């Protein structure tokens, strides 16, 4: 029997090393490593063009971008957000001295449920911080309507949503600000990295001041900023990655289609479907496991896959609201977030990355199918 290497939930895509070598030689020759170098400014411009947005501010990572976005809009008091995300979303609020107010999620998209937002608004509410979970767009129209009625800012955590469009328009063009992550686990990576997408020059300038200690000139500090600048190494990699990202997304799409073809009719397995009019990036492939129909719980399947060298992830488990830092909040109490509490017990993200061959995808599928027979004809179910 053929021995296989483990299958991990993701692997970063990196361009050919010889292509990156040319950029490194330039950096070595100029000795300009950071502080708005040649590659930084070039990457910022090229990225805005690729994403079809007006203004991009590059950051050393997505978490600092989130923290700075809240600072840039002077958000205080309470912010309504989702418990179903990576902890950085809520940590950014905590670091700004803002109280997170958790709101339940939609059972189909797993995003913040607009129908539940108004009930969470108080006189202290200043903003909404939704997440485009798995790159699946939030209900942007309804969220904006609510924000408009109550005078709230909207900052989208778009860390999963690189390259996602809706009806041909970048998802990043909605809300007051959108935040991206270029972490190693993302479909577009600069080792670490991130960005804030803004819609006017004044806001971009404020963001750029904040990420560089608040400096507006050699001797002028306009705000208590932070050091969150992207360096030349990250920017150089980002420039190269732009040449390959569409190809990477297309490969991810084929894997997602293969999973969906072979798993969607399996009792007890629910796949997150594509949304009409949306260009997805296939950053993740989540499934929900119903123990009663499937015969195993999510955790039992997770353990079984791991024993066979397949490393999936329970994204997102536990809920952010269940961590010690936040579980004492009234909005985090059991029963207040029934949909999120159900989804977090059922969700499992399967391996997906550009270099994952379809025969390895088939290994994952066969493990999930268990005793069920899979014919050798590609894509057929027995």
Q: For the domain that residue 234 is a member of, what is the CATH number?
A: 3.40.640.10
Domain assignment present for residue 231? The answer is yes
Q: Are residues 28 and 161 in the same domain?
A: yes
Q: Are residues 196 and 332 in the same domain?
A: no
pLDDT lower than 70: segments of the chain: 1-3, 371-382
Of 241, 275, 303, which closes a domain? Answer: 241
Q: How far apart are CA 263 and CA 271, in angstroms?
A: 8
Of 241, 264, 293, which closes a domain? Answer: 241
pLDDT digits 0-9 by tens, 180-239: 999 999 999 999 999 999 999 999 999 999 999 999 988 999 999 999 999 999 999 999
pLDDT at 379: 41
How many structural domains is the chain composed of?
A: 2
Q: Are residues 154 and 31 in the same domain?
A: yes
Domain assignment present for residue 380? The answer is no
Q: Is 4 helix (H, G, I), strand (E, B) or coil?
A: coil
Domain assignment present for residue 298? The answer is yes
Q: Are residues 162 and 282 in the same domain?
A: no
pLDDT at 374: 36
Of 186, 208, 241, which closes a domain? Answer: 241
Domain assignment present for residue 220? The answer is yes
Q: Are residues 205 and 257 in the same domain?
A: no
pLDDT at 3: 59
For residue 72, the enclosing domain spans 17-241
pLDDT at 370: 86
pTM of the model: 0.95
pLDDT at 1: 38
Which helix (H) or strand (E) segment is 342 a member of? helix 338-346
Q: Are residues 197 and 280 in the same domain?
A: no
Beta bridge partners of 179: 157, 196
pLDDT at 214: 94
Q: Are residues 232 and 254 in the same domain?
A: no
pLDDT digits 0-9 by tens, 148-173: 999 999 999 999 999 999 999 999 99
Domain CATH code at residue 282: 3.90.1150.10
Q: Are residues 134 and 282 in the same domain?
A: no
pLDDT at 372: 43
Q: Are residues 42 and 178 in the same domain?
A: yes
Domain assignment present for residue 170? The answer is yes
Q: Are residues 119 and 233 in the same domain?
A: yes
Q: Are residues 274 and 165 in the same domain?
A: no
């Amino acid at each position: 029997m053929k021995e296989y290497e483990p299958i991990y939930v993701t692997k970063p895509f990196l361009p050919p090393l010889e292509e990156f070598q040319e950029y490194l030689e330039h950096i070595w020759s100029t000795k300009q490593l950071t502080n708005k170098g040649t590659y930084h400014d070039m990457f910022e411009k090229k990225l805005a063009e690729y994403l079809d947005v007006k203004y991009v501010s590059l950051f050393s990572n997505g978490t600092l971008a989130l923290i700075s976005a809240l600072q840039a809009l002077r958000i205080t008091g309470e912010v309504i957000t989702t418990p179903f995300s990576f902890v950085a979303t809520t940590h950014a609020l905590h670091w700004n001295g803002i109280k997170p107010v958790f709101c339940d999620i939609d059972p189909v998209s797993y995003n913040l449920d607009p129908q539940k937002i108004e009930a969470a608004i108080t006189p202290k509410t200043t903003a909404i911080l939704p997440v485009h979970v798995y790159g699946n767009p939030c209900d942007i129209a309804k969220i904006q309507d609510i924000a408009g009625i109550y005078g709230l800012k909207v900052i989208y955590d778009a860390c999963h949503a690189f390259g996602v469009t809706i009806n041909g328009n970048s998802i990043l063009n909605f809300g007051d600000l959108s935040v991206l992550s270029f972490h190693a686990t993302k479909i577009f990576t600069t080792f670490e990295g991130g960005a804030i997408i803004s819609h006017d020059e004044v806001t971009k300038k404020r963001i750029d001041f904040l990420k560089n200690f608040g400096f507006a000139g050699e001797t002028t500090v306009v705000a208590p900023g932070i050091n969150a600048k992207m360096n030349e190494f990250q920017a150089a990699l980002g420039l190269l990655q732009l040449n390959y990202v569409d190809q990477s997304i297309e490969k991810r799409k084929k894997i997602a289609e293969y999973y969906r073809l072979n798993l969607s009719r399996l009792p007890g397995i629910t796949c997150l479907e594509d949304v009409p009019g949306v260009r997805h990036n296939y950053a993740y492939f989540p499934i929900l496991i119903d123990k009663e129909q499937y015969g195993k719980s999510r955790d039992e399947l997770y353990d079984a896959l791991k024993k066979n060298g397949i490393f999936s992830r329970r994204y997102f488990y536990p809920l952010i609201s269940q961590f010690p830092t936040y579980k004492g909040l009234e909005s985090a109490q059991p029963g207040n977030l029934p949909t999120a509490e159900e989804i977090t017990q059922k969700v499992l993200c399967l391996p997906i990355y550009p270099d994952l061959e379809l025969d390895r995808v088939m290994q994952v599928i066969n493990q999930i199918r268990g005793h069920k027979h899979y014919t050798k004809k590609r894509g057929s179910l027995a």
